């Protein structure tokens, strides 16, 4: 490098910028390892205590593989994060993650070092941990990814299953005895276990729009996991969705065996004789 007399030449000062965009595009978060806020590509980046751990390989200028990002929840970070959306509405599912390396002395000098999509998300009162995988990593999966066995492995209500979940949901009203962990509805007459591994969605009251998985169902009572942040009110309305049991009989009950993707006649290992 040649230096000219009287001209200050600044060495690169590299920081990282992390962009998180929700799957529906409704929300964007921007964090940086820099000690001060700044604007980059017309987005405002907030300083945050960030650590990350990746694995994979280097291909051209882009690191491919997996990244795990840990955000310590400082005051500025807490101001951006809606914990209810993460914990109960799973707002970070399939969000896009981008990691930039930015030269603070010349922001036009930057590189996109990683681009991927969220996997497992963990959150408590101290930190938010986001695991992600990039498209290159996903492309390298062994194919076929489907496992052939007795049970169906389609996504219930997905494009191949073809079940319209709105046609099998039930609606009801919460009775006395409901709380954060339990929804009681004496009008429910479905057999024990009918809603196991399904979910409910509240449609009125202070919990309107919140969802919870059904850990166990007995006639007239749903045991929920995780529990809601506050108690279900008497008279609050809900809709409940059963879970597919992945069996031929269960699919037959839904009149959907034409799309059943299990192979009930494959012998179990204990039935195979060598």
Residue 121 and residue 174 in one domain? no
Sign for the pseudo-dihedral over CA of 157, 185, 248, 211: positive
Displacement of CA 221 from its chain's centroid (Å): 27
Looking at residue 161, what is its pLDDT? 86
Residue 184 and residue 131 in one domain? no
Q: Is residue 185 part of a domain?
A: yes
Residue 131 and residue 170 in one domain? no
9 touches 103 (CB < 8 A): no
Looking at residue 136, what is its pLDDT? 54
Q: Is residue 23 part of a domain?
A: yes
Give the predicted TM-score (pTM) of the model. Answer: 0.47
Range of the domain at 183: 165-243
DSSP conformation letters of 100-153: EEEETT-TTSEEEEEEEEEEEEEE-SSEEEEEEE-HHHHHTS-S--PPPSSS--
Residue 106 and residue 186 in one domain? no
Residue 114, classified by CB atoms within 10 Å of its CB into exposed (0-12), middle (13-18) or buried (19+), is buried
Rounded Cα–Cα distance for residues 227 and 250 (Å):
28
CATH classification at residue 186: 2.40.30
49 touches 34 (CB < 8 A): no
Looking at residue 60, what is its pLDDT? 40
Q: Is residue 261 part of a domain?
A: no
- Calculate the CA dihedral of residues 150, 156, 157, 163 and round it to 10 degrees: 40
* CA-based nearest residue to 211, from 192, 195, 225, 193: 225
* CA-based nearest residue to 22, from 101, 82, 100, 102: 82
Which tokens in the block code for residue 121? 């998300």
Instruction: Map tokens 């690191």 to a residue.
Output: 63
Looking at residue 126, what is its pLDDT? 80
pLDDT digits (tens, 9 = 90+) for 127-167: 888 888 876 555 455 445 566 677 888 878 877 888 888 88
Residue 155, classified by CB atoms within 10 Å of its CB into exposed (0-12), middle (13-18) or buried (19+), is exposed
Rounded Cα–Cα distance for residues 192 and 219 (Å):
5
Q: Is residue 5 part of a domain?
A: no
Residue 98 and residue 191 in one domain? no
Looking at residue 171, what is its pLDDT? 96
> Cβ neighbours of residue 36 under 8 Å, at least 6 residues apart?
47
Residue 106 and residue 174 in one domain? no
Looking at residue 186, what is its pLDDT? 96
Residue 29 and residue 115 in one domain? yes
CATH classification at residue 76: 2.40.10
Three-class SS state of 64: strand
Looking at residue 3, what is its pLDDT? 41
> Cβ neighbours of residue 227 under 8 Å, at least 6 residues apart?
180, 181, 212
Q: Is residue 149 part of a domain?
A: no
pLDDT, tens digit only, all 274 positions of the chain: 444 455 455 667 899 999 998 887 777 889 999 999 999 999 999 998 888 876 654 444 444 578 888 888 877 777 777 776 676 667 788 888 888 999 999 998 888 888 788 888 888 778 888 888 876 555 455 445 566 677 888 878 877 888 888 888 999 999 999 999 999 999 999 999 889 888 899 999 999 998 888 988 999 999 997 788 889 999 999 999 988 878 888 888 888 888 888 887 777 666 655 5
Residue 23 and residue 122 in one domain? yes
User: How many domains does the chain divide into?
Assistant: 2
Looking at residue 188, what is its pLDDT? 95
Rounded Cα–Cα distance for residues 203 and 206 (Å):
9
Q: Is residue 28 part of a domain?
A: yes
């Amino acid at each position: 490098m040649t230096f000219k007399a009287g001209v200050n030449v600044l060495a690169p000062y590299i920081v990282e910028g992390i962009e998180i965009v929700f799957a529906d595009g409704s929300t964007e978060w921007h964090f940086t390892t820099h000690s001060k806020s700044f604007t980059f590509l017309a987005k405002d980046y907030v300083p945050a205590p960030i650590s990350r751990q990746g694995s994979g390989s280097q291909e051209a200028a882009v690191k491919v593989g997996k990244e795990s990002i840990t955000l310590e929840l400082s005051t500025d970070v807490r101001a951006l994060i809606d914990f209810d959306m993460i914990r109960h509405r799973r707002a970070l599912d399939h969000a896009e993650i981008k990691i930039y390396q930015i030269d603070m002395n010349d922001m036009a000098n930057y590189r996109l070092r990683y681009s991927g999509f969220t996997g497992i998300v963990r959150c408590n009162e101290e930190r938010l941990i986001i695991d992600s995988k990039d498209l290159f990593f996903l492309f390298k999966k062994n194919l076929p990814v489907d496992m052939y066995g007795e049970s169906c492995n389609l996504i219930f209500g997905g494009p191949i299953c073809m079940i319209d979940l709105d046609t099998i949901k039930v609606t009801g009203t919460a009775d006395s005895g409901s709380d954060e962990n339990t929804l009681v509805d004496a009008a429910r007459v479905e057999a024990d276990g009918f809603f196991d591994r399904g979910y409910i969605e509240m449609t009125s009251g202070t919990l309107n729009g919140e969802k919870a998985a059904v850990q166990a169902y007995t006639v007239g009572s749903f045991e929920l996991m995780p529990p809601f942040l506050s108690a279900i009110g008497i008279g609050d309305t809900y809709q409940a969705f059963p879970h597919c049991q992945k069996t031929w009989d269960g699919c037959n009950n839904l009149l959907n065996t034409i799309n059943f993707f299990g192979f009930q006649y494959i012998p179990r290992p204990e039935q195979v004789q060598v």
